[in-house]
Amino acid sequence: MTRGSFTIHRPEPAVALPLVIHVPHASCVVPAHCRGDFVLSDADLQGIIDAMVDRDTDRLALPLVAQGAYVVVNEVCRVVVDPERFADDAHEAAAVWGMGAVYVHTHDGRRLRRRDWSPFDRAERMAEFYHPYHRAVRDLVVELRGRFAEPVHIIDLHSFPAAPFPYETDHGPRPGYCLGYDDEHAPRNWLAWWTGRANGVPGLIDHNRPYAGAYVPGELPPHATDTRSLMVEVNRGLMAGHPRLEHVHAFLEFACEDLRHTLGVRPLPVARAS
């Protein structure tokens, strides 16, 4: 199901699970009517996009539709509007660097949007891209919670650079995978799976480092607030076929199998990304 700036890929009803794989940062697309928002040259803007986009995270997620997952893919580049940020800059830590829900600066500190960019302009982009996206994800979670009478599980899927961005203060060694979560929504059995994988594999995972937390849509009704969410960030150094990339494939398959077990349904044949 496509709604302009995002697509919800739905599984066949017979195999559907209460699982949402959230892919907010895979797109490089800047809609033509948004190009005038930016002061950078085409080449410089492309450089920013290349640095910021979580390429191929959609490719990791989409095979899981056949396994029962609902995959939500943002089809507009995060430099236009970033649906992963809090709507209010007062609540968004990245807004300090001009990188709230609507970026006004680049990751390396340059001016991104035109000097006359106004609160009205921001509100217009938020109404066009941000709010419909969040309503759709919230409605999907509510739908699945009602259908399955089980907590909905979200995998918040990202990648991150092998070296920190200029504004980041943590310059320590980066893990292969960053697992982000909060205590209220953490899926403990999924974290235990990753801990088991990491035994004897130095540097494979870190918890809430270099990034913390995981996406949960706001304004959920009481019956859907038991949603679980785990952010899985893949080090981009693994994305070009590194052997350790197999861990994320295995985890996605495990997540589907785990929820099938919870629901008491039979396993399906494994699907792998090409």
Residue 154 lies in a domain: yes
For residues 177 and 267, what is the distance between their CA atoms, to the nearest angstrom?
27
Whether 84 maps to a domain, the answer reads: no
**Mean pLDDT, range 27-34, rounded to an integer:** 97
Q: Up-side HSE of residue 169: CA atoms within 13 Å toward CB? A: 2
Residue 105 covered by a domain: no
Tokens of 172: 């320590």
- Which CATH number belongs to the domain containing residue 220 in this structure? 3.40.630.40
Domain range for residue 141? Answer: 6-75+118-263
Residue 234 region by backbone torsions, left for phi larger than 0, else alpha for psi between -120 and 50, else beta: beta
Q: Is residue 93 part of a domain?
A: no
Residue-wise pLDDT tens digits, 128-169? 999 999 999 999 999 999 999 899 999 999 999 999 988 888
Distance of CA 173 to the CA centre of its chain: 23
| Predicted pLDDT at 240 | 85
Q: Is 113 within a domain?
A: no
For residue 14, being part of any structural domain is answered with: yes
Contacts of 201 (CB under 8 A, 6+ apart): 244
pLDDT of residue 136: 97
pLDDT classification of 274: cutoffs 50, 70, 90: very low
Would you say residue 1 has pLDDT above 70? no
Selection from 114, 125, 105, 127 nearest residue 39 by Cα: 114
CA–CA distance, 133 with 274 (Å, rounded to integer): 28
Q: Is the pLDDT of residue 96 over 90?
A: yes
- Residue-wise pLDDT for 178-236, tens only, equals 999 999 999 999 999 999 999 989 999 999 999 999 999 999 999 999 999 999 999 99
Question: What is the count of structural domains for the chain?
Answer: 1
pLDDT tens digits, 236-265: 999 988 999 999 999 999 999 999 999 987
**Cα separation of 98 and 132, whole Å?**
23
pLDDT value for 273: 47
Contacts for 118-124: CB closer than 8 Å, 24+ residues apart: 121/37
Distance CA 24, CA 264 (A): 31
Let me know: does 88 contact 24? Beta carbons within 8 Å: no
Is residue 171, in this structure, part of any structural domain at all?
yes
The candidate with the shortest Cα–Cα distance to 17, out of 106, 150, 124, 180, is 150
- What is the CB neighbour count within 10 angstroms for residue 160? 20
Instruction: Tell whether 97 is covered by a domain.
Output: no
